[in-house]
Amino acid sequence: MGRKLIMIVFPRLLSDLLDEMGGPRAGHLALDFAWHVLDLEREGIEEPVLSACLEYIEAAHEAIDLGEAVPRLLEVRERLDAVAERRVSNMFFLAGEAQFTVDAARVGVGLMLDKAYERGPFSHPSCLSVARQLQAEVGRWAVQHSEGGADERLVARRARWEEARWQVLHILRTEPNPHNDAG
């Protein structure tokens, strides 16, 4: 008798896990994913931007838990915008780390910010789209920091896969068992 080989493809599994996820849990996960990438790239991020990104993630977690855009969230977002805009020449663009942090926060607090700033509702990204964006960021970062002569496509692919693997494992570590009441 032959044994069946089961292959787990982390990006596909991640897609399956996050496809239906919404609400506060999706917001918290997107923020956790962004925090992880900031931690990976910590040494290459200028200090005012790194601190502002990390503080914004903390404020967004707090706002999601409270269910409203607390004043701290609005203050930290303005500070993040200010330090991130100073890093680039065009005032309408944020530094890359700040942009993916903002996108991750939009999953959980976007509607709150729309209401707080008295603007119509915008389209906000899903946790899955943020997870994929962050995988691409890790791939880009890995290529930038790879040794000369390395196959850049392979370096990027490996880094994206590792990030997807981390994301899946994080979900499995933090999500409650949906079958815990089954007999």
Whether the per-residue pLDDT at 58 is higher than 60: the answer is yes
Confidence at residue 183, expressed as pLDDT on a 0 to 100 scale: 43
DSSP per-residue string spanning 42-88:
GGGS-HHHHHHHHHHHHHHHHHHHHTS--HHHHHHHHHHHHHHHHTS
Confidence at residue 42, expressed as pLDDT on a 0 to 100 scale: 93
Q: Read off the pTM.
A: 0.86
Digit-coded pLDDT (tens) for 126-178: 999 999 999 999 999 999 998 887 789 999 999 999 999 999 999 989 887 65
Digit-coded pLDDT (tens) for 76-126: 999 998 888 776 555 455 668 888 999 999 999 998 988 888 887 778 889
